[in-house]
Amino acid sequence: MVEGLMINPPFQHLSTTSALLIGCFGAQAVLGGLFIWFSRFNAQTFLIYAFALLPFFVFNYWFVFEIPIFNRWMALDLGSNALMLGLTLWGWRMMRAEEALKA
């Protein structure tokens, strides 16, 4: 079902393998969420996480506009990545200020 919604028809396989691979993306997102939930972040952690998000913007651009495997629904992923980046940079600024007060 997700493949039919997100991937342009010429690139759809609609196979068990493609469903498994798409499921792996979801599992990775859950794992990332659990990691974030149970981690103690400092300013450096937030900054590293922000830099780690940048390749996802390239991925979104490349596979929507250059090689249009994904359709425009992928804009939801781009939006969530932008939100995560914004929150991560906000967390970095907040932690940096907090760490400066402790020093």
pLDDT tens-digit profile of 43-84? 999 999 999 999 989 988 988 889 888 888 888 889 999 999
Q: Three-class SS of residue 31? A: helix
Question: Quick one: CA torsion of 20, 24, 25, 31, rounded to 10 degrees?
Answer: 160
pLDDT class for 100, splitting at 50, 70, 90?
very high
Range of the domain at 46: 2-102
* pLDDT top residue among 98 and 21: 98
Q: How far is the C-alpha of 73 from the C-alpha of 65, rounded, in Å? A: 12
Of the pLDDT bands very low, low, confident and very high (cuts 50, 70, 90), residue 93 is: very high
* pLDDT score, position 90: 98
Q: Which residue is listed with tokens 């149970």? A: 38
pLDDT at 24 over 70: no
Torsional sign, CA 21, 25, 30, 31: positive
